[in-house]
Amino acid sequence: MRSHFTSLLVIIMLFTFIRSATADTCAPSFTESEVKHRVKNMPLFFKPKYTDVVGSYLRTYFEKDRTKAERIIANTALYFPIFEKYLREQNMPMDLRMLPILESALNPHATSRSNAVGLWQFIQPTADGYGLANNRFVDERKDPHRSTQAALRFLNKLHERYGDWALALAAYNGGPTRVNNAIKRARSKDFWKVSKYLPKETRNYIPAFIAAAYLYNYYEYHGIAPASHAVEIQLQDYVKVFDEISFQTVSDLTGVPTYDIEFLNPSYKQRVIPKSYSGNYLVLPAWACQALKKHYPNVQTVSGTMIDPDFLNQPNYLRTTYTVRPGDDIFKVADVFSCKPFNIKYWNNLKTDQLRTGQELNVYMTTYRKRKTAAAQAIKVSQKKKRTPVKVLPQLTNRIQPVDLFATSNEFTEKGGKNNSFQMYILKPGESLLDIAQRHKHFSLPDLLALNGWDYNINLMAGSRIKLPL
């Protein structure tokens, strides 16, 4: 009996040791003083303050529910570019993008006990007041675009009333009436003085916001390693659809699996986008938006069948590096690579929009090319089709030189026929195909590759002859 007890004790001690070792591996040790120092110096649109409540929220993120923290950071790649787009348009503080972290943990399907729904957690009466539809086809509280636009209008209105973002955020949570009464009782518009007169949830709202901002700014210090979404999901765009169309038809037209369409468009209840005179948002991988824009004007009915497979496009994703040059900013770089500024920040773990000359950035490009072979044209899109992997192209770096391609006539030696117009170009030392494509507005890298019959893994030497589209 004693021997059995001793063995059990040894097992328990061993389990405790292993669990402790695992926890140490996953969660780097840190002191409260370190966290307090970071909070105090954290850039925020109001002065942050470390409190016991802030510490409690941080322990939830970094100790009690690390999986949730990792999921939140991964989802910033999906939703922060949308938030930033509309915040810039409204000239509002970028820090407001943190709000859906504490509202919904960046889950568009989140529903609270009070039946608030979506990324920004609208209850139905407020949603009605800001024009968010909820019917048998769609719940726009779950629409990342429409709900964000509505939330920012609401926040702007609250800030105009209080002239203080901390109080505006408190009113977003608890309602203006509670905040107005608390201001009267405190005889102050300082949130920290007003807070003791607010209900507990609203009192803790600003500490929760501070904790969410800390999570985003310092998650790597605590060993949070998010599993990122596929690049084709990160590199998303949207179109406005005015006629009824099903997810299946969108899939048939673009090749995007219906489960990805459903994931990117959480507001549609029946996998159908209803007819709308003002247009409904359809979010897709960026390459698929190009394909849909080409085909959709010719679609008259929802047929659910493959339409004109000869023009179905196959996505390709290019991974490369870019070295920041004098005069570059994050918006210029994002424009060159057809992505969002936040994509650049996410891929390079940047917390601000600031770039420095000589800094090397990891970037991805999204593009597409036509399927040419008869066999490819005959293949129907499978719902089990795997996402296209990222192709690593180390040779496609930004060795861009300020050279006029048409400066000397001897660089071009021949022209194609009338029906296949092109000019020949001799590749210079240190030059890449990406360099050439970036210097021309009338053709893209895929056009260049298609004309020459090359794939994305081509590795050319200086002196190679290249056909350039006219």
From CA 291, how far away is CA 288, in angstroms rounded? Answer: 5
List the one residue out of 130, 129, 106, 128 whose CA is nearest residue 118: 106
Q: How far is CA 64 from CA 32, 58, 61, 69, 406, in A?
A: 16, 9, 6, 10, 62
Could you please report the per-residue DSSP string of 341-354? HHHHHHHHT-SSS-
Q: At what angle do helices 205-218 and 52-59 cross, to 10 degrees?
A: 50
List the one residue out of 33, 15, 70 whose CA is nearest residue 215: 70
Handedness of CA 342, 346, 352, 353 (dihedral sign): negative
Find the helix or strand (DSSP H, E) in which 159 lies: helix 144-162
Handedness of CA 326, 331, 335, 340 (dihedral sign): positive
Residue 300: alpha-carbon gap to chain centroid? 32
Measured in degrees and rounded to the nearest 5, phi and psi for residue 111 equal -135, 130
DSSP state of 268: B
Handedness of CA 267, 269, 270, 271 (dihedral sign): positive
Find the helix or strand (DSSP H, E) in which 145 lies: helix 144-162
Q: Where are the alpha helices (DSSP H) in 228-340?
A: 231-234, 247-254, 258-264, 286-295, 330-336
Decide: 279 and 242 in contact? Cβ < 8 Å. yes
DSSP state of 141: G
List, in order, residues 6 or more apart from 13 with CB less than 8 Å away: none
> Apex CA 301: angle with CA 260 and CA 258, to 5°?
10
User: Could you give the residue numbers annotated as active site?
Assistant: 103
